[in-house]
Structure 1
Amino acid sequence: MNDNPMYMEYVDDADSPEPTRRRGWRILGWVCIGLSAVMVAGSLTMYGVYRKMFGNIAHEDTNALVGPNRPKKLNSAMNILMLGSDSRAGANAAYGRSMKNDPPRSDTIILLHLSPGGGGAFGVSFPRDLMVPIPSCKKPDGSGTTPAQPKAMINSAFTLAGPSCTVKTIESLTNLRIDHFMEVNFVGFKSITDAVGGVPICLPKDVNDPKSKLHLTRGKHVIKGDEALSYVRVRHGLGDGSDLSRIKRQQKFMGALANKAMSAGVLSNPDKLLKLINAGTKSLRTDSELTATTMLKIGTGMQGMTSGKLRFITVPWGADPADRNRVVLNQAAADAFFSALRNDRSVPDEKKKPAGGGAAAPKIPASQVKVRVFNASGIAGQAGRVGAALRSQGFQVEVAGNHATTTTKVQFGPGADQQAKTLAALVPDAPAPSAAAPGRAGTVDLIIGTDWTNLKTGKSGGAIPKQQGEIKADDNICDGN
């Protein structure tokens, strides 16, 4: 038996009915994803050394593989799909020899959403057991296409046709344009944690777990290398033994890693910076358009980014009625969340004084505005998508069907003229609200016409509300233990 703790033939789920050979690897993905987020957020500082090491990175032509029919961008936000691969190619074979010839999987899938102007960053996790439709995809080697699957685990897209197929799957699921992808394998894990000088953690109790070989006392520690690997994969030695408990711990570890790497002690130290980027780029594959110049452009727009603006969120999900071991999207909540991301304009707004210097007129809050949304755009599902975006901003929404009018309008019923102003403030280029036919007192009608573009956000950061269970990179590492 190999006694190297990095040798992943053994895992911590030997008593689980699920095949265990993949579990340790999706956990390491969290760590590498955290590094990738740091590379983006600090890319302006890293640009010089990143360009020098760009030759380490492999690339894939995602535009050619996904094809032309992709979602349109509605704003200047950036969406980067982060993928943690369990490939055993090359040096990765050392981390599971019996799986050397297995097809690779991506058990870590995180959409990194960068708000315009550095307004915030959101790491949106998609559970690997999420059951979704998988579209037909072109194979990267040019050998043909894969058949569409009406329902399959989301991580199977990567196995079928690589990272660009996962991009296509996420785009069809969210209607979000994915600008770039980053795929990270695990051979650089120890180097990454070493490069940042270790990652701080906080243990609620002593841990002595023979399976993971993790032996730590209660309280704060800084861990790296094999010890960090054991910490992120241990299941039964910490928490309640559930995978959900472990995932929450992994998110906190990723946040702590990002917080450490984004600190001045790492990014401003040439030696540490060089080690960090060298470790990351050796384990990285991206789309062919994510060049050093593109990274510089991203970094320029993210100069105000701090770890407190980096949030980690799990996509809304629920149990799959057909299989208790799988999950599905909580469709209503997911639609609202994806719509909020599509319409994100979380740029700090300047507060404007009313004309003449007087006090602003009282404004009816969105939570007190009842809205019926009608579709006159000719685009199927448009009213539902706009309605989801309005719900994410607090409006009470009813999707009311189609309408004969073809231009965008805001109309109000008796007593709802002020409520109409609240809504109209979010509708670009719409005419002033007008009275609707009587009979719907207190209700505002929004008619989505052929001239529709998108909603504005109600306030800075208002497009993406706080999500249940979210974690920020600068959270206290001992909170919630």
Structure 2
Amino acid sequence: MLTTAAVIGTSLTAYAAYYDIYGNIEQQNINTDAFGDRPSRVEGALNIMVIGSDIRTGENANYGEAEGARPDSLIVAHISPNNGRASLINLPRDLIVDLPACKGSGDKPGMPAQRGMINSPMSFGGIQCQWKAVEQVTGIHIDHFVSVDFSGFKGIVNSVGGVRMCIPEPIDDEKAKLHLEAGEQVLNGEESLGYMRSRYGQGDGSDLSRIKRQQEFLGAMLNQIMNGKILTRPGNITSFLGSVTETMTTDDQLTLEVMTDIAIAMREVDMGNINFVTAPNGQAPSDPNRLALTQPQASQLFDAVSKDQSITGDDGGGEGSGGDKGKEQEKEQVKPADISVEVLNGEGTPDLASQVGQWLTTEGFQVAGTGNPLQIPSQTTIYYGPGKKAHAQALADEAVNATIEESPNLGDTVQLVLAQDWEGFTSTAGSSGGSSGDSAGGVEGTTAAEAEQKCS
């Protein structure tokens, strides 16, 4: 939930030497030597585990009760200054993964190796357990961590004067304490926190749709911070840093010198090269209310990040890059919301059609149904009726490997028939997909430059 604000806030803390703010930050010693074998790190790249904590004590007690402290959101922020790009990878809190054993610390008991939710290690063993788990699950070397709680997030938003958003429909969510009218408006800290936490009052009520809204919000806020007057006026910087550091926790190796390096690096990254992505996932076979990583797409994404390679296939080209983006602009524009699709599973993996349907729904497609085909084609095929070729092609562009074929008996709904060669989806941020080259297929995401928040 707090990814961009925390990373930018941490970066800007380089200025704190001039305003005596650095001392506000709470720091923890993390014994990474106790992790054993760790993923290799790439010189010149930086990976930060960013935690939006849902701790409900102190100033956060008004947001209900919750046992312990755990990530309400969990993100790996990858900064690659040598390549002029940055990526923020959401790890959905509903992900079920294999977690490593971790020793307790203080009043936390630790935990044995087990299969559980990605955000649970923090409750059992604190930040150190969470750090170790993220490294083992992703294979990405984590250099530092940043954690901000609810009150800290509100302060960040208020310090930048609120964030302008387009609210497409009225929102009435008692659980998130959020009540908004439809239309373009500037959200204050309390409203922004409610918007970021709101799950059942918007969309389909899933954590995935909430993550997508969070990415849009954070992109809008990042645009506001980077393109506004916050970085140009000392008074604004002071206010911003004061709000961030009062509720920020980091590791004690995130020194002023490191923060200065991050600040310099972030200023060189174009907004079109800051990617918000979600780890590829689908419904967990063991629990319909939980998620599991979709393979091989998730491993491809994590491997690209761990090696400091592009996850979008454009090598940091940003909005102005040509190639596939230029070709896409020449095609007939068909929006996902205009496409009705039925997903049929001929690949053989149980519940695959439902997983694919769920992903398509989060991307805005209209999923008409799922099931199994009467006949299985030799390769993954999208069948379309008269006048729906552009719809089929737009859907095919989202897949790593899918061909299209006209079927005169079909109506307005296209059919995606998964065959044995099914390899998942390409990146919505511009990836050409597959495992070739230095891009990672199956990535759901957007760029900060695409976070346009004006109502049309």
Give the CA deviation at 1:281: 0.9
Aligned to 1:305: 269
The reply on whether 1:37 has 2:7 as its aligned counterpart is yes
Q: How does 1:51-450 map to 2 (within 5 A)?
A: 52-64=20-32, 66-96=34-64, 98-99=65-66, 102-117=67-82, 119-141=84-106, 146-207=110-171, 214-345=178-309
Distance of aligned partners of 1:89 and 1:265 in 2 relative to their CA distance in 1, 3 Å threshold: same
Q: In terms of mean alpha carbon deviation, does 159-168 or 130-139 score higher?
A: 130-139
Q: Are the counterparts in 1 of residues 102 and 113 from structure 2 also a CA contact under 8 Å?
A: no
Task: Measure, in 2, the Cα distance between the counterparts of 1:176 and 1:467.
Answer: 18
Cα distance in structure 2, aligned partners of 1:316 and 1:210: 30
- Matched-pair contact (CA < 8 Å) for 1:41–1:303: no
CA distance in 2, matches of 1:308, 1:257: 14
CA contact (8 A) 1:194 1:225 kept: yes
- CA distance in structure 2 between the aligned counterparts of 1:153 and 1:259, rounded to whole angstroms: 32
TM-score, L = length of structure 2? 0.66
1:301 positional shift: 3.1
C-alpha distance in 2, partners of 1:120/1:336?
Answer: 18
Q: Which amino acid letter does the alignment assign opposite residue 114 of structure 1?
A: I
Q: Output the amino acid matched with 1:245.
A: S
CA contact (8 A) 1:79 1:178 kept: yes
- Alignment correspondent of 2:382: none
Relative to structure 1, is the Cα distance of residues 157 and 344 closer, same or farther in structure 2, using a 3 angstrom cutoff?
same
Residue 219 of structure 2 contacts residue 451 of structure 2 at CA under 8 Å; is this kept in 1?
no
- 1:472 maps onto 2:447 in alignment: yes
CA contact (8 A) 2:163 2:224 kept: yes
- Deviation of residue 108 (structure 1)? 0.9
Q: Structure 2 CA distance, aligned partners of 1:207 and 1:93? A: 23
Q: Is the 8 A contact 1:239 1:245 kept in 2?
A: yes
Structure-1 separation of matches of 2:192 and 2:168: 16
Distance 1:475 1:190, change over 3 A: same
Q: CA deviation at 1:216?
A: 3.9
Between 238-247 and 69-78, report the one with greater CA deviation. 238-247
Alignment partners' CA distance in 1, 2:269 and 2:12: 8
Q: Displacement, 1:73?
A: 1.3
Contact 1:66–1:164 at 8 Å: present in 2 too? no
1:22-50 alpha-carbon deviations (Å, 9 max, x no partner): xxxxxxxx1x3221122245455x35357
Q: Is 1:123–1:313's contact at 8 Å kept on the other side of the alignment?
A: yes
| Closer, same or farther: CA 296–118 of 1 in aligned 2, 3 Å | farther
Give the distance between the partners of 2:316 and 2:207, measured in 1 at CA: 37
Q: Distance in 1 between matches of 2:160 and 2:101?
A: 40
Shift of 1:83: 0.8
Q: Is the 8 A contact 2:279 2:443 kept in 1?
A: no
Question: Could you report, residue by residue, the CA deviation over 1:274-299 in whole angstroms, capped at 9, with x for unpaired residues?
Answer: 11111111111111101112111222
Summarize the Cα distance change of 1:327–1:242 in structure 2 as closer, same or farther, 3 Å threshold: closer
Structure 1 pair 274–233 and aligned structure 2 pair: CA distance change class (3 A): same
Q: Give, in angstroms, the shift of residue 179 of structure 1.
A: 0.2
Q: Give distance in 1, aligned partners of 2:445 and 2:455.
A: 12
Q: CA deviation at 1:252?
A: 0.6
Counterpart amino acid of 1:287?
Answer: D
Supply the AA of the counterpart residue of 2:6: S
Q: 1:193 to 1:130 in 2, by over 3 A?
A: same
In structure 2, the CA distance between the partners of 1:103 and 1:211, relative to structure 1 (3 Å rule), is closer
Matches of 2:153 and 2:118, distance apart in 1: 24
Relative to structure 1, is the Cα distance of residues 56 and 321 closer, same or farther in structure 2, using a 3 angstrom cutoff? same
Change (3 A) 1:467 1:59: same
Tell whether the 8 Å contact from 1:37 to 1:258 is kept in structure 2 after alignment. no
**Shift of residue 68, structure 1, vs aligned partner:** 4.5
Give me the whole-angstrom Cα distance separating, in 2, the residues matched to 1:144 and 1:273.
37
Query: Distance in 1 between the 2:109 and 2:178 partners?
Result: 44
Relative to structure 1, is the Cα distance of residues 138 and 59 closer, same or farther in structure 2, using a 3 angstrom cutoff?
Answer: farther
Q: Secondary structure at the match of 2:134?
A: helix
The answer to whether the 8 A contact 1:65-1:138 is kept is no
Q: How many residues align?
A: 333
CA contact (8 A) 1:137 1:147 kept: yes
**Counterpart-to-counterpart distance in 2, 1:91 and 1:186:** 8
Structure whose CA Rg is larger: 1
Distance 2:244 2:108 in 1: 32
CA displacement, residues 49-104 of structure 1 (integer Å, 9 cap, x when unaligned): 57x212211122213574442222134210000011122343333433x54xx321
> d(CA) in 2 for partners of 1:246 and 1:48?
37
Shift of 1:336: 1.1
Percent identical: 36
Q: CA deviation at 1:325?
A: 0.8
Q: TM-score, normalised by structure 1?
A: 0.63
1:284 aligned partner, one-letter code? M
Matches of 2:121 and 2:11, distance apart in 1: 28
Q: State the 1:479 CA deviation.
A: 8.4
Is the CA contact 1:83–1:106 (under 8 Å) kept in the aligned structure 2? Answer: yes
